């Protein structure tokens, strides 16, 4: 028996453990979907997958609670697949290995999947428990939230009957989220010319930047964490001009909504400048330690000779153009909400960069609770790359969720929280893409709240869940269902 199954509440932790045993990286939903369908049917509940692959499970109201508004419990089934470079793990086949670290549960060198496995486990516990009091319930478990919210976008109007949606995908216990940012992917592509160099005159060098904290590009974009792509581009631009370094290939980041933790480049450096280049590596490592040392305490920036033959490299003028375009693009927080100055309004994340064999690709995720600022920032990135001759496409755009401070479910849940824990919950707007905005567009008039247990560093191998918060979260969920507003 896994250690985490001994934690409280056992009904939630046993289901979370079961979920960790089912591979479920975004884009590979078959196993987890089958697992959830089998689970719902084993309880004798109406259970099916809709036309896009979301799982829907319905549980009737308990006797005497039929007059309550129907509640939709919503979570997503996929997880972000991130691991440390020295860890062997196949997210499409291997279970997640968990361990208890004091008051936290973590995974061994990989993402934990508490985002959104804890919300999913809580839903499973509610569906199973026949002792709870609640009105009509529907579980909506969406597919591929992390890579574009495909399940939410595919939800058809009229598929669900509930009037209240409780999204269990937030990461700070004691906070009720009533609004979120919208977002758009900015996808950049361009071919580039390669040219041959004198292999006898150049040495191949492998440059590695690793050990960054990374994390969620919405929830943790305001924490000053370094972006591996931006840092590598900064270095490459400098050593290209001073030491004649030429790019054979470069790549960094692998998830649109994760702050990149690692970046790699193979460079060809003139042999008579290798010593100066290696000294530049040491100097840049010292600069990064000075700028980010209090935040990125495991940062590593190194270079070493490699076996890659120095044959073809990016043409010099193309290298300068593309590095300048990347260098110019904004990354990180652009603006805070003027009326809520401690909440991020607009940001971008230079998520993925790849240059190899004559092809350049980059992806940015722009977020904002302001539609006009979202468009503005996306257009600044587009402008930079159009000047560089690249093709730019916008995709996956989704609207934010506008807060309703007069929401009936908000009033009810604030009262419930205070009665349980003796204090008011915080009411917040989150700088992350929640499915509430998309689902709300498909089901106008839904009364929505997002909440959850305390998670830290989702989308990175440092992801962890605070054990004491899980019991409070589940107790609050159960009491909120019992006190749902009347029809």
What's the number of CA atoms in the CB half-sphere (13 Å) around residue 327?
12
Is residue 305 within 8 A of residue 203, CB to CB? The reply is yes
CA distance 116 to 78: 7
Peptide bond into 9 cis (omega under 30): yes
Of 471, 487, 452, 339, the C-alpha closest to 405 is: 339
pLDDT (0 to 100) of residue 193: 96
Ramachandran angles phi, psi of 146, nearest 5°: -70, -20
Q: For 56-107, how does the pLDDT look when each residue is reduced to its tens digit (9 = 90+)?
A: 999 999 999 999 999 999 999 999 999 988 899 999 999 999 999 999 999 9
DSSP character at residue 155:
P
> What would the pLDDT profile of 285-317 be if each residue is shown by its tens digit?
999 999 999 999 999 999 999 987 777 999 999
Spatial contact of 346 and 259, defined as CB atoms under 8 Å apart:
no
The candidate with the shortest Cα–Cα distance to 188, out of 423, 391, 415, 404, is: 391
Placement of tokens 């790019």 in the chain: 247
pLDDT at 308: 75
The domain segmentation of the chain, as residue ranges, is: 3-181+400-482, 184-398
CB atoms within 10 A of CB 38: 10
**What are 185's two structure tokens?**
């992917």
Average pLDDT along the chain = 95
CATH of 3-181+400-482 given 3.30.420.80, 3.40.50.2000, 3.40.630.10, 3.30.565.10: 3.40.630.10
- How far does the chain reach from its first CA to its final CA, in angstroms? 43
Q: How far apart are CA 258 and CA 110, in angstroms?
A: 14
Q: CA 346, CA 338: separation in Å to the nearest integer? A: 11
Q: DSSP for 62-123, please give it.
A: PTT-TTBPPEEEEEE--B---B-TT----TTTPPPPEEEETTEEEESSB---HHHHHHHHHH
Mean pLDDT (whole number) for 129-155: 95
Confidence check: pLDDT of 344 > 80: yes
pLDDT score recorded for residue 287? 97
The confidence band for 2, taking pLDDT boundaries of 50, 70 and 90, is low
The count of C-alpha atoms lying within 13 angstroms of the C-alpha of 263, restricted to the half-sphere facing its C-beta, is: 26
The string of pLDDT tens digits covering residues 158-197 is: 999 999 999 999 999 999 999 889 999 999 999 999 999 9
**Percentage above 70 pLDDT, the chain:** 100
Q: Is 472 exposed, middle or buried (0-12, 13-18, 19+ CB in 10 A)?
A: middle
Contacts of residue 194, Cβ cutoff 8 Å, sequence gap at least 6: 312, 313, 314, 315, 357, 358
Go through 431-462 and write b for each residue having 16 or more CB atoms within 10 A of its CB, e for each that does not: bbbbbbbbbbbbbeebbbbbbbbbbbbbbbbb
For position 430, what pLDDT does the model report?
87
Fold of the domain spanning 184-398: Alpha-Beta Plaits (3.30.70)
Q: Range with the lowest mean pLDDT among 104-113, 415-424, 438-447?
A: 438-447
250 in helix, strand or coil? strand
- What radius of gyration, in Å, describes the C-alpha atoms of the chain? 24
* CA proximity to 481, closest of 92, 271, 168, 220: 168
Residue 88, exposed/middle/buried by CB under 10 A (0-12, 13-18, 19+)?
exposed
**Residue 423 scores a pLDDT above 50:** yes
Please tell me the distance from the alpha carbon of residue 296 to that of residue 276, in angstroms, as a whole number: 26
- Residues annotated as catalytic are 78, 145
Q: Would the pLDDT of 247 be above 90? A: yes
Strand order in the sheet with 98-101: 98-101, 104-107, 464-466, 455-456
Residue 1 confidence (pLDDT) = 40
């Amino acid at each position: 028996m896994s250690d985490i199954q001994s934690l409280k509440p056992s009904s939630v932790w046993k289901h979370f453990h079961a979920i960790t045993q089912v591979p479920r990286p975004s884009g590979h939903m078959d196993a987890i979907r089958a697992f959830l369908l089998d689970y719902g049917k084993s309880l004798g509940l109406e259970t099916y997958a809709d036309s896009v692959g979301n799982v829907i499970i319905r549980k009737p109201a308990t006797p005497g609670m039929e007059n309550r508004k129907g509640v939709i419990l919503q979570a997503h089934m996929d997880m972000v697949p991130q691991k440390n470079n020295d860890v062997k793990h196949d997210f499409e086949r291997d279970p997640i290995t968990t361990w208890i670290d004091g008051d936290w549960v973590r995974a061994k060198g990989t993402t934990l999947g508490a985002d959104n496995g804890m919300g999913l486990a809580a839903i499973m516990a509610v569906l199973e428990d026949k002792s709870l009091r609640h009105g009509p319930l529907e579980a909506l478990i969406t597919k591929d939230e992390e890579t574009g919210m495909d399940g939410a976008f595919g939800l058809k109007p009229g598929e669900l009957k509930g009037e209240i949606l409780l999204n269990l995908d937030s990461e700070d216990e004691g906070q009720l989220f009533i609004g979120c940012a919208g977002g758009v992917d900015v996808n950049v592509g361009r071919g580039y010319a390669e040219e041959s160099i004198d292999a006898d005159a150049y040495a191949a060098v492998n440059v590695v930047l690793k050990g960054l904290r990374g994390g969620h590009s919405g929830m943790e974009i305001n924490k000053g964490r370094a972006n591996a792509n931006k840092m590598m581009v900064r270095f490459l631009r400098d050593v290209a001009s001073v030491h004649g370094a030429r790019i054979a290939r470069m790549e960094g980041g692998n998830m649109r909504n994760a702050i990149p933790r690692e970046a790699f480049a193979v460079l060809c450096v003139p042999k008579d400048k290798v010593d100066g280049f290696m000294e530049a590596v040491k100097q840049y490592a010292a600069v990064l330690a000075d700028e980010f040392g209090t935040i990125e305490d495991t940062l590593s920036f190194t270079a070493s000779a490699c076996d890659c033959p120095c044959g073809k490299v990016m043409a010099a003028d193309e290298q300068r153009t593309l590095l300048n375009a990347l260098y110019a693009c904004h990354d990180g927080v652009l603006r805070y909400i003027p009326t809520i100055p401690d909440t991020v309004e607009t940001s971008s994340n230079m998520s993925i960069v790849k240059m190899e064999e004559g092809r350049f690709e980059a992806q940015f995720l722009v977020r904002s609770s302001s539609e006009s600022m979202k468009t503005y920032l996306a257009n600044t990135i587009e402008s930079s790359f159009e000047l560089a001759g690249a093709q730019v496409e916008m995709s996956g755009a989704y609207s934010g969720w506008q807060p309703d401070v007069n929401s009936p479910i908000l009033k009810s849940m604030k009262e419930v929280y205070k009665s349980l824990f003796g204090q008011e919950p915080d009411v917040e707007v989150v700088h992350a893409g929640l499915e509430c905005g998309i689902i709300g567009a498909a089901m106008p008039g839904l009364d929505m709240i997002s909440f959850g247990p305390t998670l830290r560093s989702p989308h990175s191998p440092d992801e962890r869940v605070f054990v004491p918060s899980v019991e409070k979260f589940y107790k609050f969920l159960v009491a909120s269902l019992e006190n749902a507003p009347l029809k």
